[in-house]
């Protein structure tokens, strides 16, 4: 199912990009914006399909943990760099603050990156102007070392009533928000499940019209290693 959905869609995205480049080179720059819209729509649809497939795998118990040692600061910088292009036409400042000695962790790098990308994408989506700060450091809890990553935005915020349902599958804050910002309502649900699979957790603090703070806590080692050994 994954292959059948993704393969033709990737072809649409790839060929639309090629046609856009050829249009400019061939003197047909007037049609380039439409071709770029096709690519953008295809990329958006692919992200929605990926979220639905991820949830299906989680519910079926088919998610595998591929743990390895990786540098946390590098992962954060890469994820931040990936979302910067979407902020080019906005009035948002993205800042990254990694404490000295952040070091490495033993976990599933792909899933940690996806969690962070989900949080950064949400912050960009719901912040029209202002700032987004990513702050990362190490903490001690129950005698073990943990990585703490907080994504702080000055966006539209979330009410106390909405926070209670925020991590539910397919939950959207409200219909007007869905119409304006789009999305499936799965990004946060998947992020929480990935954090749990990796032995950690994700929490949120927010005030309506004042912004939000999403905090991810993941073990540096130990829990992820045990899970990887049994996967």
What does the alpha-carbon distance between residue 83 and residue 117 come to, in Å, rounded to a whole number? 8
Tens digit of each residue's pLDDT (9 = 90 or more) over 181-223: 455 567 888 899 999 999 999 999 998 889 999 999 999 985 5
Q: What is the CATH number of the domain that holds 209?
A: 3.30.565.10
Identify whether residues 81 and 117 lie together within a single domain. yes
pLDDT of the residue at 68:
93
Identify whether residues 142 and 28 lie together within a single domain. no
Identify whether residues 17 and 124 lie together within a single domain. no
What does the alpha-carbon distance between residue 185 and residue 172 come to, in Å, rounded to a whole number? 5
Identify whether residues 33 and 104 lie together within a single domain. no
Count of CB atoms situated within 10 Å of the CB of 211: 21
What does the alpha-carbon distance between residue 9 and residue 17 come to, in Å, rounded to a whole number? 13
pTM to 2 decimal places: 0.76
Instruction: Return the closest-CA partner of residue 126 out of 94, 91, 153.
Output: 153
Q: Which domain holds residue 27?
A: 2-59
Identify whether residues 90 and 16 lie together within a single domain. no
Cβ(99)–Cβ(136) below 8 Å: yes
Identify whether residues 175 and 197 lie together within a single domain. yes
Identify whether residues 100 and 206 lie together within a single domain. yes
Identify whether residues 119 and 147 lie together within a single domain. yes
Which residue has better confidence, 202 or 87? 202
Identify whether residues 125 and 46 lie together within a single domain. no
What does the alpha-carbon distance between residue 12 and residue 137 come to, in Å, rounded to a whole number? 41
Identify whether residues 55 and 73 lie together within a single domain. no
Structurally, the chain folds into a number of domains equal to 2
Identify whether residues 194 and 167 lie together within a single domain. yes
Identify whether residues 117 and 51 lie together within a single domain. no
Tens digit of each residue's pLDDT (9 = 90 or more) over 158-172: 888 888 778 776 655
């Amino acid at each position: 199912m994954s292959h059948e959905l993704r393969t033709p869609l990737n072809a649409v995205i790839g060929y639309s990009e090629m046609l856009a480049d050829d249009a400019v080179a061939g003197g047909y720059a007037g049609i380039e914006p439409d071709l770029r819209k096709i690519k953008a729509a295809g990329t958006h649809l692919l992200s929605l399909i990926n979220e639905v497939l991820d949830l299906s795998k989680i519910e079926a118990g088919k998610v595998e943990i591929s743990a390895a040692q990786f540098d946390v600061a590098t992962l954060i910088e890469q994820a931040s760099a990936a979302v910067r292009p979407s902020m080019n036409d906005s009035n948002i400042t993205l800042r990254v603050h990694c404490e000295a000695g952040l070091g490495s962790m033993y976990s599933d790098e792909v899933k940690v990156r996806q969690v962070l990308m989900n949080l950064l994408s949400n912050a960009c989506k719901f912040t029209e102007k202002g700032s987004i700060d990513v702050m990362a450091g190490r903490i001690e809890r129950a005698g073990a070392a943990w990585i703490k990553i907080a994504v702080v935005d000055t966006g539209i915020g979330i009410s106390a009533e909405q926070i209670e349902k925020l991590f539910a599958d397919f939950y959207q804050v409200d219909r007007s928000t869905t119409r304006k910002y789009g999305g499936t309502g799965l990004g946060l649900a998947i992020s929480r499940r990935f954090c749990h699979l990796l032995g950690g957790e994700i929490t949120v603090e927010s005030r309506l019209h004042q912004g939000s703070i999403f905090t991810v806590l993941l073990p540096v080692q130990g829990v992820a290693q045990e899970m990887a050994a049994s996967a």
